[in-house]
Structure 1
Amino acid sequence: METKNKPYIISEGKLDYELGELRGQQILYDFDKMLVYLEAKGQSLFGHGFRLYEEDRDILFKLCNYAIQDKTMCKKLGLDPQKGILLSGPVGCGKTSLMTLMRYLTPHRKPYKMIPARNIVFGFNYLGYKTIEDYGNTQFFCFDDLGVEPMGRHYGKDCNVLGEILISRHDLFLKTKLKTHATTNLNAQELEQLYGNRVRSRMRELFNLIAFEKNSQDKRR
């Protein structure tokens, strides 16, 4: 929880984490202090065994600067602050944990909801196309594990559910700049094979790609 009128000071239990300082109307964040907070918050969410890894520092630097919407640094890093984030990498590298944590860095902004992609398909199988409509609305979402969900099937008709939702989210982005985030184990070629060129081209407009190295360690082991 943020300290009242000071969103750069976040309270966790009895501790206050000062992520930066206020100069005039601008918050100047300190990256190392942000990491201290993120590790502490990660331990409260995922258990005391959680930790951040030095090898992921570059990924964290990009995610943190994007989260605080530092436009100057985002430009240097090749990130568009208006687009969402597509965080890709091998199984177990920490994508879901990091995207979950980033929601807490800026408590003064509306957080996105973390939604497993497979759960959306299960909802479609039961409710049908209403599910696609529900995720094509004006809420903020991060679709977790994009690309490993099964094909949707409702009353005998197959549907690439997430592909249809991404098209709807792209339409919203063009109209309102509403952001969509996602995590995935797949690379660009695999995503195109799964969703087709039409969806893949829209994903380029929807997302900034931030990718872990292919040989990133599995932190679950």
Structure 2
Amino acid sequence: MKLDHPHIITEGNLTYRLGELSGNSILYDFDKMLIYLEAKGKLMFGERFRIYKEDRGILLKLCNYIIKDYDSCKKDGIDPNKGLLLSGPVGCGKTSLMRLLKFLVPYQKPYSVIPSRNIVFGFNHIGFKVIEDYGNGQYFCFDDLGVEPTGRHYGKDCNVMGEILLSRYELFVNRQIKTHCTTNLNARELEERYGKRVRSRMRQMFNLVAFEKNSKDKRK
């Protein structure tokens, strides 16, 4: 893959053309993006991975967001300058999609997908430095937000992800640095977990994109 041709991506011996160049812009083809995402998904997660027809609607929103199709995002009520809060039931594919999406745009700064529970385990081991580490200028997607345990270091409890979200809010406001998250929780449950202050800031930081409540568990 050449960065002067960011719409053409090579994986092994295969080349995927995601669209066509038009001046300084790329005219993306949604169906070609889905073909690439499925191929990349099989490489990353195994041959059983596939893109499901019933997920096309949510994938269209996610793809339009990641390629910064401002007109389409506006129609969907999505702000490309905010992060993504991707919600849905267990096993619907949130984590896999967030791990895949960034490969569509190799010219953008990538984000790292980090399980929220791992961050808390790190806090339990080394303390508040963990919160400082995730409050820096890097790009992150915090996976499975809201189901991580409460942090505890030297006998003191801490809502670790709540504190990190407050730090990420300051980065968003002052430096326009985005954060992404996946969660199984709804808005009420997130407020119960993190409090009104954090929930209020989350509304400003994130675009909520949600799978249907009855989305199938793809792990079965």
Q: CA deviation at 1:103?
A: 1.1
3-state SS of paired residue (2:100): helix
Tell me which residue corresponds to 2:119. 120
Paired with 1:4 and 1:157, the residues of 2 have a C-alpha distance of 48
Paired with 2:191 and 2:143, the residues of 1 have a C-alpha distance of 17
1:129 pairs with 2:128: yes
Paired with 1:151 and 1:79, the residues of 2 have a C-alpha distance of 32
1:65 pairs with 2:61: no
1:73-97 deviations in Å (ceiling 9; x for gaps): 1111110010000000000000000
Tell me which residue corresponds to 2:5. 6
Tell me which residue corresponds to 1:100. 99
Tell me which residue corresponds to 1:109. 108
Q: CA deviation at 1:3?
A: 3.0
Tell me which residue corresponds to 1:146. 145
Tell me which residue corresponds to 2:190. 191
Paired with 1:175 and 1:24, the residues of 2 have a C-alpha distance of 33
Q: CA deviation at 1:72?
A: 1.0
Tell me which residue corresponds to 1:18. 17
The code of the aligned residue for 1:133 comes to E
3-state SS of paired residue (1:7): coil
Alpha carbons 2:7, 2:26 under 8 Å: kept: yes
Tell me which residue corresponds to 1:201. 200
1:83-138 deviations in Å (ceiling 9; x for gaps): 00000000000000000000100011111000000000000001111100000000
3-state SS of paired residue (2:7): strand
Unaligned stretches of 5+ in structure 1?
A: none
The code of the aligned residue for 2:42 comes to Q
Paired with 1:212 and 1:5, the residues of 2 have a C-alpha distance of 35
Paired with 2:201 and 2:3, the residues of 1 have a C-alpha distance of 39
The code of the aligned residue for 2:188 comes to Q
How does the TM-score come out when normalised to structure 2? 0.99
Paired with 1:73 and 1:214, the residues of 2 have a C-alpha distance of 24
Paired with 1:124 and 1:156, the residues of 2 have a C-alpha distance of 12
Cα RMSD (Å): 0.6
Alpha carbons 2:41, 2:100 under 8 Å: kept: yes
Tell me which residue corresponds to 1:50. 49
Tell me which residue corresponds to 1:32. 31
Q: CA deviation at 1:5?
A: 1.2
Paired with 2:57 and 2:49, the residues of 1 have a C-alpha distance of 18
Alpha carbons 2:3, 2:106 under 8 Å: kept: no
Paired with 1:4 and 1:131, the residues of 2 have a C-alpha distance of 34
How does the TM-score come out when normalised to structure 1? 0.99
Q: CA deviation at 1:4?
A: 4.5
Tell me which residue corresponds to 2:214. 215
The code of the aligned residue for 1:124 comes to F
Alpha carbons 2:3, 2:107 under 8 Å: kept: no
3-state SS of paired residue (2:203): helix
Paired with 1:142 and 1:4, the residues of 2 have a C-alpha distance of 24
3-state SS of paired residue (1:108): coil
The code of the aligned residue for 1:24 comes to G
1:173-218 deviations in Å (ceiling 9; x for gaps): 0001100000000000000000000000000011000000000000
Paired with 1:138 and 1:69, the residues of 2 have a C-alpha distance of 21
